[in-house]
């Protein structure tokens, strides 16, 4: 994070994520696999299996997702991260949003073609990832309006928003 503004942090993480999956594979996934219920459920299952070592204990849970037909259904395409080790260790809203939430949502939604919404809980350090759900617009995302957590060395109760979050337009 040091020496980089929010957008630069997000770009650096995006480059790392893109380097993990070859461009032709991303193109095939985006082109061949539409974000159907099955694709979203399978992504949740794989994410819970593959990300646990990285973020902590995960489990697949139900979520309300609007299907391609516009009908909202409950489906097991959410991953509940019990306590994100990065959020808990960093105690930083900006690090969560810039180094995980926004770049990961963008990567899955734009590069894979599978919508993903991540909703961190800054009180208990849990996080929910919902495959098949479009992320909110930046000016409507509650995570981007959060104040610094109390553990932040620059925590200022007078500030309504964490100083490390990207600037959004209303």
The answer to whether 39 and 114 have CB atoms below 8 angstroms apart is: yes
Q: What is the reported pTM?
A: 0.87
For the chain, list the strands marked E by DSSP: 58-66, 72-81, 116-120, 127-131
Please measure the distance between the N-terminal and C-terminal CA atoms of the chain and give it in whole angstroms: 25
DSSP code at position 108: I
Grouping H, G, I as helix, E, B as strand and the rest as coil, residue 165 is coil
Could you count the other beta carbons within 10 Å of the beta carbon of residue 8?
A: 12
Distance between CA 14 and CA 142 in Å, rounded? 21
Per-residue pLDDT of the chain (170 residues; tens, 9 = 90+): 666 777 778 788 888 888 888 888 888 888 888 888 999 999 999 999 998 988 999 999 999 998 778 889 999 999 999 999 999 998 989 989 999 999 999 999 998 899 999 999 999 999 999 999 999 999 999 999 998 888 776 656 556 788 888 876 54
Q: Shortest CA distance to 95 belongs to which of 150, 14, 165, 4? A: 165
Is the backbone of residue 132 left (phi > 0), alpha (psi -120 to 50) or beta? left
| C-alpha closest to that of 13 among 95, 116, 99, 84 | 99
Q: Which CATH number fits domain 6-136: 3.30.420, 3.30.1380, 1.10.3470, 1.10.287?
A: 3.30.1380
* Per-domain residue ranges of the chain: 6-136
Q: Cβ distance 80 to 119 under 8 Å? A: no
- pLDDT of 156 reads 61
Q: Do residues 68 and 33 make contact, with C-beta atoms less than 8 angstroms apart?
A: no
């Amino acid at each position: 994070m040091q020496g980089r503004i929010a957008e630069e942090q997000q770009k650096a993480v995006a480059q790392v994520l893109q380097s993990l999956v070859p461009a032709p594979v991303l193109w095939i996934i985006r082109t061949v696999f539409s974000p159907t219920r099955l694709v979203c459920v399978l992504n949740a299952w794989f994410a819970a299996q593959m990300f646990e070592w990285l973020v902590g204990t995960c489990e697949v849970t139900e979520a309300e997702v609007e299907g391609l037909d516009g009908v909202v259904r409950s489906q097991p395409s959410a991953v509940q991260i019990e306590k994100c080790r990065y959020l808990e260790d960093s105690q930083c809203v900006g690090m969560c949003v810039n180094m995980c939430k926004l770049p990961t949502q963008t990567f899955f939604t734009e590069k894979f073609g599978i919508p993903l919404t991540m909703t961190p809980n800054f009180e208990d350090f849990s996080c929910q990832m919902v495959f098949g759900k479009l992320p909110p617009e930046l000016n409507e995302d509650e995570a981007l309006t959060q104040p610094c957590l109390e553990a932040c060395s620059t925590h200022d109760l007078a500030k309504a928003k964490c100083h490390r979050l990207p600037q959004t337009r209303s």
